[in-house]
């Protein structure tokens, strides 16, 4: 099976199995999603969704968040990972939105990564989910699943290399959805420990069950 054939089979399976695939973070506008994605770094979406309602209620705009302090925000987010750093990032992010972006979430990678707490992965999530751009955010699930299935070679040892390889083969029009397919598959089926191979629709297609029969082209 060639790499192109593998991609075609995998994407066709996901399209049929998950016709609707979207972020599991709760949000009502781009600003709220940006907050949620910053908080989700090395933290579960479930945990983030538990703490964001009061945060969104009390700081509904960039101006409101920019005018408070990290110490205040810390009390709202203390149960997430790295709450001190994230509190500083959230206030700094809001201040930059107000100062440099007219309180609007920017839509380009170059502008998004200027914001405190926003790296390439977070920027790609915003581009994909909010602006429906062909941006592939590679988190731990995407990285793991892409390698296990055989979508990327073992030489893709970084999130960036994995992103570039995936973008070579996935049609731009479905990149935003494919990002969620890989995340959700990794979260619920192709888990880090004890993957549920026996109930996986890709069993018999992925690299783990076709050792040595997939070749790069």
Per-residue model confidence as pLDDT tens digits over 145-190: 999 999 999 999 999 999 999 999 999 999 999 999 999 999 999 9
Structure tokens at 60: 């509904």
Tell me the backbone φ, ψ of residue 215, rounded to 5 degrees: -120, 145
The pLDDT, as a whole number, for residue 208 is 79
High-pLDDT (> 70) share of the chain, %:
97
Given the residues 3, 86, 88, 139, the one annotated as active site: 139
Instruction: Mark whether 121 is an active-site residue.
Output: yes
Instruction: Mark whether 139 is an active-site residue.
Output: yes
Query: Which residues is 215 bridged to in the sheet?
Result: 2
Tell me the backbone φ, ψ of residue 169, rounded to 5 degrees: -110, -25
Tell me: pLDDT of 214 over 90.
no
pTM across the whole model:
0.88
Query: Which residues is 2 bridged to in the sheet?
Result: 215
Given the residues 3, 86, 88, 121, the one annotated as active site: 121
The pLDDT, as a whole number, for residue 216 is 47
Q: Which domains does the chain have, with CATH numbers?
A: 3-21+136-209 (1.10.1670.10), 30-129 (1.10.340.30)
CB 55 within 8 A of CB 17: no
Q: List, for residues 23-40, the tens digit of each pLDDT value.
A: 999 999 999 999 999 999
């Amino acid at each position: 099976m060639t790499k192109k054939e593998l991609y075609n089979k995998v994407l066709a399976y996901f399209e049929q199995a998950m016709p609707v695939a979207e972020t599991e973070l709760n949000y009502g506008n781009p600003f709220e999603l940006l907050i949620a994605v910053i908080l989700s770094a090395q933290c579960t979406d479930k945990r983030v969704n538990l703490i964001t309602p009061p945060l969104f209620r009390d700081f509904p705009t960039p101006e409101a968040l920019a005018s408070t302090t990290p110490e205040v925000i810390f009390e709202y987010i203390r149960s997430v990972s790295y709450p001190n750093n994230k509190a500083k990032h959230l206030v700094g992010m809001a201040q930059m939105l107000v100062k440099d972006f007219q309180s609007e979430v920017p839509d380009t990678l170059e502008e998004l990564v200027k914001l405190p707490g926003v790296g390439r992965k977070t920027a790609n999530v915003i581009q994909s989910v909010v602006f429906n751009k062909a941006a592939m955010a590679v988190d731990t699930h995407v990285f793991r699943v892409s390698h296990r299935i055989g979508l990327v070679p073992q030489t893709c040892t970084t999130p960036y290399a994995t992103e570039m390889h995936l973008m070579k083969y996935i049609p731009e029009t479905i990149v935003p959805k494919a990002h969620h397919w890989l995340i959700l598959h990794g979260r619920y089926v192709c888990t880090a420990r004890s993957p549920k191979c026996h109930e996986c629709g890709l069993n018999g297609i992925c690299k783990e069950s076709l050792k040595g029969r997939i070749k790069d082209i």
